Amino acid sequence: MVIEYDQAKRDRTLLERGLDFARADEIFAGIHFTGVDARVDYQEKRLISIGWLDKRLVVLVWTPRGDIRRII
């Protein structure tokens, strides 16, 4: 699985929340729930995944782009 993200947003999220987008594959590899975010038309499919990272419940918003999972 390939994980993609904006580096500046990753750096900001790591600093502000202690969450590293580069470790998103660990969330997908563990027990997690994924649902479609259909609140508005984003012009692309958006998914919300809830899972665990270091015994911490986390929420990821992402979009599939072929074989890539782009963290939003």
The whole model's pTM is what?
Answer: 0.89
Residue range of the domain that includes 43: 2-71
pLDDT at 19: 94
Query: What is the CB neighbour count within 10 angstroms for residue 6?
Result: 13
pLDDT at 17: 95
How far, in Å, CA of 61 to CA of 65, rounded?
Answer: 13
Based on the structure, what is the number of domains in the chain? 1
User: What HEC string does the chain produce?
Assistant: CEEECCHHHHHHHHHHHCCCHHHHHHHHHCCEEEEECCCCCCCCCCEEEEEEECCEEEEEEEEEECCEEEEC
pLDDT in tens, 16-60: 999 999 999 999 999 999 999 999 999 999 999 999 999 999 999
